[in-house]
Structure 1
Amino acid sequence: MKAFLIFTGSGPILILTTFAGVTDPRLVAKLEHKGIAKFIAYEVPLERTRQLYGVPFEVIAADLAGCEDVRVLDFNGHHIFANFRLSELGEPVRHGD
């Protein structure tokens, strides 16, 4: 499982996914189905995400167990930015023109 902070046209979202990466064509297709055709994504530390989100993280992780899918863990930009330092973010991954 991986956690990604994704900057979209309507604001940041924090997702959990069992896909290998944010550019996996199946994940990209799911994001595009939700209207997210362009984005900049950063992988965030999974264990830090688990510590920050606690029970909601565990519930979503259990829901993802045994399948390849994606779930939104947080869509509140203020909350996401309060939880993660910019120095924790890895290299950006850009998708779309």
Structure 2
Amino acid sequence: MPKSKMRSYLIFTGTGPMLVLSTYPKLTDERLVQKLRHKGIDKFIAYTVDLEAVQARYEDSYDSVAVDLEGREDIRVLDFNGHQIMANFSLDALGDPIKFGG
């Protein structure tokens, strides 16, 4: 299987933010959405986060999470500590929101 492009997203859910790594082609890919639904996440607002910024801020855990995604299309949570996520990223640096679930 060809290597899938790694992407990172900051996803705001009803229980708080989470930072994820994904190799799905887009955040609204139905397979990814089904995985989120399985975890009880039916609605979210998300932002694409610069992958280099994520690597720099999570250098201790990034590689171990990313290696788990090698050769597959899937998603992994890198951080679910809202305080830490918000301290690591400026909202001004994020692009346009991706809204899902109406």
What's the TM-score, normalizing by structure 1? 0.97
Quote the residue 2:25 is aligned against.
20
- List alignment gaps of at least 5 residues for structure 1: none
Could you list the runs of 4 or more consecutive aligned residues of structure 1 that deviate by over 4 angstroms after TM superposition? none
Q: Choose the corresponding residue for 2:81, options 58, 68, 76.
A: 76
Correspondence 1:46 to 2:51: yes
| CA-atom RMSD in angstroms | 0.6
Correspondence 1:64 to 2:72: no
Corresponding residue SS for 1:72:
strand
Correspondence 1:55 to 2:60: yes
State the distance in 2 between where 1:19 and 1:67 align.
Answer: 9
Correspondence 1:86 to 2:91: yes
- Identity among equivalent positions (%) equals 56
Q: Please list the CA deviations of residues 49-72 of structure 1 after superposition, one character each: whole Å capped at 9, or x if unmatched.
A: 001000211001111000110000
Quote the residue 1:36 is aligned against.
41
State the distance in 1 between where 2:98 and 2:30 align.
Answer: 14
Q: State the 1:87 CA deviation.
A: 1.4
State the distance in 2 between where 1:75 and 1:66 align.
Answer: 24
